[in-house]
Each structure stands twice: as structure tokens, then as C-alpha cells.
Amino acid sequence: MQSQKKQWKLLHNLNNALFTQKEPVQITHFVTERCNAHCPHCFVETSAQKKELSLEEIEEISKTCGSSLRNIALTGGEPFIRDDLFEIADIWYKNSTIKTVSLCTNGSMPDKTEDFVSKAVKKNLPVSFFFSYDFTEEKHSEYRNIKDLHLKVLESYKAVNQYFPKFNATFNITLSKENYKSAYETYKFIRDVLIVQNINCTLVRGKNAELLTQEEKNEIASVYRQIQTVLDDDFDNSRISAYPNNSLTNIVLNTKNKIIWKYVLKTFEQNKYLSPCCAGALFGVIFSSGNVFPCELLNSQIGNLKDFGYNYMNLWKSEQAEAIRNNIVNSKCFCTFECIWLLNIFSQPKYYAEILYHAIRSTRHHT
């Protein structure tokens, strides 16, 4: 009976991802838009104080997201500004079908991070942490306008990494016009001096990407290619690691970035549509006030969860949601958002040959 249930769930999830695309697989939840940093490249409007969803409201929402949801990404603003962040993560894990929680933070609150991790260990909550890091040492603190941030983020990282491989902790470099000239040195500093086990590199997006000159775009693309090429080689040669064991699932997860960065870079350089987007179908965004959007970048609000009795799937099935999904497909909407590209690749069989190729190569490297 248990085996039959697992098989049915697998078939249901595959049918949703590949064919019907009626339920979200990943949701990004902006638990707050308040922030203690002032980063030049940020696209989140952090100036206005908004009424944030309460634990009781999140409890209701988390029960109504369908049966295909696999990941909730908690972000902000700075999510640790909320004192009830662990309770939010626990609610999502307890009530929904998610298998993992992603937590994106600037790492400025090591005490709160330590407290979160200690609670997560006791509850066996699967969390992946992403720490922002854009310059080396004091320059990083100056850039994000938080005193001694470069020390605090390392302390936060160590609080998480003491439980590796139970928790994954990644340093994320966001490439922008402010840091691209030094970003490769930052990558090497993170790898060789800070001895961080997993590193990620993303491209600036939103209004700050749109304002780039063509020369800036070309130079940023060149640095992105340089970092990603070295990053791939470092992974293949075990200088860094992401998912620690060599199960088939983890091999695929580890190799996905090799495909993602190729198409992200191509989109960034050519500024054109390459593949259908599943935003609004397999991916959604909940902002702190309860407003729901198909992604972080589109100014197309589906609705507010309060108007749907905090029932996510009722909102997701609304006429407005369907109209927005159709517009995304018909307009051939595209961007460089890595999270969306992850779902685009896994939900479209045309990419499976590449996934298999890189998975086989990765297996050979790690045996």
C-alpha cells in the first residue's frame, strides 16, 4: 500500500511538471520586505512598512498549496528580521508537501542563525542556507552598509556548516556593475581563504539589469562565464561540493547548474526568448502582505490571499491567474532568473539529454 502511494505521488508529480502544470512546485515567500542592508543592486522595495502575514495566516496558506509543492524559499528583505522565522519554516514543512526549505539571508545575525539551526536540528527540518557575499572582507560590509558584515556572515556560515551535510550552506555572489571587476577574486577568496564548501554565482536582475549599458553587459557576461567555468571545474575536481553523496538524485541536482548557467548566460547576452517559462504555473511568489505574483520580476499581480480566504490553490485557479499564465506563454516572456530556469529545464524533456550527459560525466569524476 505504501509503495503504491509513492508510485501514485511520483506519477502525479511528473504529470504536473511535464503536462498539466496546474500546481506550484516551488514558492518564494518574502516573509518581510524590511531589511537592515542597503544594497545598490537590490530590486526589492524595502522603504515602505507593510502589514506582514501573521503565523496564523501563514498556517492557513501552507495547507492549501496543492500536492506538488517541493520547495519553499524564505527570503526578504532580510528574513531574520522576523523573530518568528523558524516558526514560519516549521509551519510550511509541517503543513505542506515540501521536502526542503531554502533560506536566503545576508548573514548579519549570527545569533539568530545559531538559534534557528539548533531548533531545525531538533525538529529534523531540511534547510539549505544561501548567504550573500559580493566583495572580500571589509569591502563587502561597506557595499551592503552593515558594519562588520563580512565577519558576521562567516560566523553565521560556521553556525550552519557545523552540521554539514545535514544542512547545506552556500555563499552566493550576485554579479552587478558594482562588483564584476573584482568578482573572480571574490570567488577565489571564498574558496581558498574562507574555505566555503559550496559557492554560487547569479546575475543581477530587475531594474538594475535593465539599466546596464551594452559594454557593462558584455563585461559582466565575460566574468560570469569565467566564474562558472572555474566553478564547474572545481566541482568536478571536488574543490567545492554541493550535495554530498553520489545518489542519482544528488548527481542530477549537482549537475543542473552546468545547464542552467549556459542558458542564463545565453539569455543575458542575446536578450531573447529561448524556452517556455513556467512562472505562474510551477512557480509563484508570495509577498509579505499576501500579494501573489507569478515571479519576482513581473508586475502582474494574481491577487491577494486574504481575498481568497488564505486558500492558495483557489487563487492559483482563478481567472486572473489563468490569464497571466496565458500571457506569459503567448508573449514568450523570458529572463535570467536562475530559479525559474531550474524549473524550466526539469519540466521540459528537450533538456533531458543534457542532464543525462552531465550526470554521467559527473559520476565519472566522482568515482
* 122: nearest Cα among 90, 154, 151: 90
Pair 361, 48: CB distance under 8 Å: no
Q: What is the pTM for the complete model shown?
A: 0.93
- Tell me the residue type at 248: L
Number of C-beta neighbours around residue 131 at 10 A: 24
- Rounded to 10 degrees, what is the CA torsion of 264, 286, 102, 62? -140
Confidence of residue 197 (pLDDT cuts 50, 70, 90): confident
User: 18-68, pLDDT tens digit by residue?
Assistant: 889 999 999 999 999 999 998 888 877 765 556 899 999 999 999 999 999
Average pLDDT along the chain: 91
Burial class (CB in 10 A: 0-12, 13-18, 19+), 33: buried
Pair 201, 258: CB distance under 8 Å: no
Residue 268's pLDDT is: 94
User: 81-101, pLDDT tens digit by residue?
Assistant: 999 999 999 999 999 999 999
Residue 250's pLDDT is: 59
> Any alpha helices (H) in 55-192, and if so which ranges?
55-62, 85-95, 110-123, 138-144, 149-161, 183-192
Residue 164's pLDDT is: 87
CA–CA separation, 178 and 183 (whole Å): 10
Residue 253's pLDDT is: 63
Residue 214's pLDDT is: 94
Residue 245's pLDDT is: 52
User: 243-269, pLDDT tens digit by residue?
Assistant: 655 555 556 666 777 889 999 999 999
Residue 244's pLDDT is: 57
- Give mean pLDDT, residues 103-118: 98
Which of the residue ranges 306-315, 323-332, 338-347 would you say has the lowest mean pLDDT?
Answer: 338-347
Higher pLDDT, 151 or 168: 151
Residue 276's pLDDT is: 94
Residue 228's pLDDT is: 94
- Give mean pLDDT, residues 282-292: 97
Residue 242's pLDDT is: 64
259 vs 74, 105, 253, 274, 338, CA distance in Å? 25, 25, 11, 13, 11
Residue 102 has pLDDT above 60, yes or no: yes
Confidence of residue 283 (pLDDT cuts 50, 70, 90): very high
Which of the residue ranges 4-8, 48-52, 135-139 would you say has the lowest mean pLDDT?
Answer: 4-8
User: 209-232, pLDDT tens digit by residue?
Assistant: 888 999 999 999 999 999 999 998
